Chain A
Amino acid sequence: MRSIMMQRFRWFPVMAVLLLLGASPALAAIQGVTGTTFNLTAKADHISTPDGGSIHMWGYALNNGRMQYPGPTLILNQGDTISITLTNNLPPGAGNVSILAPGQSGGTATGGVQGLITREAPPGGSVTYNFVAAEPGTYAYYSGTRPELQVEMGLIGTIIVRPAGFNEASNKTAYGHPETRYDDEFLFLLSEMDPNIHELVEAGLMNMVDNTKYFPVYWFINGRAAPDTMLDANVSFLPTQPYNCLPMTRPGGRLLMRIVNASRDLHPYHTHGNHHKVIAFDGRLLESAPGAGPDLAVADFTTSVPPGGTADGVFQWYAKAGWDIYGTDNGHDCVDGNGDDLDDSTYEYCPDHGKPFPVDLPHKNDTTFGAFWGGGPFLGTAEPLPPGEGGFNPNGAYFFMWHSHSEKELTNFDIFPGGMLTMMFVEPPSPPLINP
């Protein structure tokens, strides 16, 4: 496992450097497909787990491409009329399949056959769902056919509706209201897996699956278990798991968390480093009156989203570290014009300005290094390290683990660390104060 992890991680510093070389300050974007008409195909394939496992899955493919876990993130514009046609290419014996988009009120389904919840695509057939993306927000979609089996098998995905007036370059908001603006957005689609079910289905023993004995041992963010969550998106060796989860921000930046619970359990998702403000559940702002903005938002360190539901959170990082996070010997200033104790551009905590690091760091010869250690305790520090050490943190970012606080979910089939876990980077301001 360790060798696999190291092998996969070798791509990561390349990616991080490339990101910083770009002229745009955006740190990442949510991957997905845009449009108003979508063709999805349900089909079977396999995904990889970080412990070397290969798991049989059912999932949604874009057009007739390869199945992916989770299905394509559909990025829509508010007010558009949406048409999704689903074709059922699941293996023989799998039965019908369908799509529920629970945040989209109303809507119609045509074609296919009537199921217990919605119309379904029979084997080899198709069904079309139409709805108006009336309200901005974050939503789930998933199969409404035998959901206790098909959701588990991987038929899940995310719908994001951009608000009217949204502009990726000049007007990035989650819900149109200025209090929902953000600098960078990241998807956290949470799911889990009981591999016994997948083995039975792959062996053609679907009727032996007992839903009441469900016992998950893998946990995923955006279809990957840690440490694969931190790999680049679209790495060639995870062809059915294209999405990663590598949240990044800068001091004072507004990081929009779009949390989707596509699983059947609660996963208390925890942000180290600071709280996040939950501004919406299920694509509806926490507001006292229409147009009021998220005036009922709550500050949480941990958010549990009910299964099938979603939450949006705005995370902002600034330090009250007890020392000057930008170092004491480079002559930077701390200018607090608005009286919030923070520098107006670097978000340094001015009462700590000029305070030395409170401990003497041991000499490098007396230190064991972690892969994320950039070489110094200051944001933007990237000091020389012995050959072979460090390497995952080329810009001297601060790192925080963001994870499910059901601690057993930080494993891959009983092996720690793994599961529903990733690292959040606080990159230095752009341009960096140190080592520009």
Chain B
Amino acid sequence: MRKRIFQIILVILITVFCLAGVSSAAEFWLRAGTFIKTMPDGVQVPMWGFARCTANFASCNPLRVPGPPLIVPPGENTLVIHVRNNLAGPYTEPVSLVIPGQAMPTDGTASSPAPVKVPDENGNLRVRSLVHETAVGSDGVYVWNALKSGTYLYQSGTHQAVQIQMGLYGPLKMDAAPGRAYTGVPFDREVMLFFSEIDPALHTAVVTNNYGPGKAMTSTMYYEPKYFLINGEPYSSATSAIPAGSAGQRVLIRFLNAGLESHVPILDRHYMSVLAEDGNVFEHPKEQYAPLLAAGKTLDAMITPKAQGTYAVYDRMLSLTNAAASPGGMLAHLRIASAPAGAASHGQR
């Protein structure tokens, strides 16, 4: 009898340990491909971008820039992203994925990340990719363990000088708990403002195989962006205001900058409580109206709007044209609704 009880306990223990060991994983399928993006002035820019696909790439949404938001449920420990490289010629490259602020991914079997090195003209090995690559026409898998909560960019880890600029980037977030961006940071609503830039001359050179040593455009040295995007679009008369909660609510703004230049987002008539950068929460939030959103960076900021209205958010580094045409660029509007009757206000410092 005593032996039987012991066996039951053992079975229970093994079951518990097995469940713990097979903790759930967030799993996404992204297709990288080539597409044409039309600017407000009619200019057509060749882009590389990501599309969200269903499991095993059964079906895919259209390609987009920035790539589809990847929302990892709170508490996940492991992230698996499958990448299908469908870049189309005449010029293509292998691609990969990294998430600055998280550990380097592996392919799920290797014990450590595997940078890819290629010989230059002198035979010296140079790093082309920070992690293992996915060749054109094939699928790859990228696995992160010990995920950290926060707001992050995902982007290609291969030939980054070109591939990030070409559009292989997107946002990823994981909340610490439902309704809490970080421990001790509750919010009612959230808005994402994703900044990036496009230099059409660079894009054309890359896709037509005129980019690189000895070719028409040798490097990104003379990078000169003409279009400045918030959430993938430069401002135009067709831009509509972004709903951003209502007066009295705690509205979390997630700022991301995949551009090669820094920007300074100012929300008219509001201070922001900047509470985290690069997925790291501050011990003391900073009250600012002009935070620096450096290239490659993410910032999380909280506002508690006092009054309903439509408020402009603009880049104070003044990237406010579409090529030479004004207005344009990094200008958007947040629409704050009036406070619902009887709603509790969280006030504002």
> Does chain A bind chain B?
yes
- Enumerate chain A interface residues (CB-CB to B < 8 A): 100, 102-107, 116-118, 144, 146-149, 151-152, 208-213, 264-266, 281-282, 284, 286, 288, 290, 296, 304, 306-309
Q: Which of A149, A266, A290, A309 has the most CB of B within 10 A?
A: A309
Partner-contacting stretch, out of B31-39, B113-121, B156-164, B316-324 = B316-324
Q: Least Cβ distance of A37 to chain B in Å?
A: 21
CB atoms of B317 and A265 under 8 A apart: yes
Say whether chain A's binding surface is mostly helix, strand, loop, or mixed.
loop
CB atoms of B284 and A288 under 8 A apart: yes
Q: A148-B326, A212-B225, A212-B323 are in contact. Are A264 and B288 (CB under 8 A)?
A: no
Q: Which residues of A contact B318 (CB under 8 A)?
A: 147-148, 151-152, 211, 264, 307
7 nearest CB pairs, A to B? A309-B290, A308-B316, A284-B287, A148-B318, A210-B324, A117-B312, A306-B292
B145 adjacent to chain A (CB < 8 Å): no
Q: A148-B326, A282-B271, A308-B266 are in contact. Are A211 and B320 (CB under 8 A)?
A: yes
Residue of A nearest to B291 (CB): A306
B226 adjacent to chain A (CB < 8 Å): yes
What's the Cα separation between A105 and B267 when bound, in Å? 10
Q: Which residues of B contact A107 (CB under 8 A)?
A: 269
Say whether chain B's binding surface is mostly helix, strand, loop, or mixed.
loop
CB atoms of A309 and B264 under 8 A apart: yes
Within 8 A of A (CB), among B299-334: 306-307, 312, 314, 316-321, 323-324, 326-327, 329, 331
Q: Which residues of B contact A118 (CB under 8 A)?
A: 268, 312
What's the Cα separation between A286 and B266 when bound, in Å? 19
Which residue in B269, B287, B324 is a CB contact (below 8 Å) of A211? B324
Q: Least Cβ distance of A260 to chain B in Å?
A: 11
Given A102-B266, A105-B306, 17 further pairs, Cβ under 8 A = A105-B271, A117-B312, A117-B331, A146-B326, A146-B327, A148-B321, A148-B329, A210-B324, A211-B320, A212-B321, A212-B323, A286-B286, A306-B264, A306-B290, A307-B264, A307-B290, A308-B266
B289 adjacent to chain A (CB < 8 Å): yes
What's the Cα separation between A211 and B318 when bound, in Å? 9
CB atoms of A149 and B326 under 8 A apart: yes
Which residue in A104, A148, A282 is a CB contact (below 8 Å) of B290? A282
Q: Least Cβ distance of A282 to chain B in Å?
A: 5
The 0/1 profile, CB within 8 Å of A marked 1, for residues 266-292 of chain B is 101111000000000000101111111
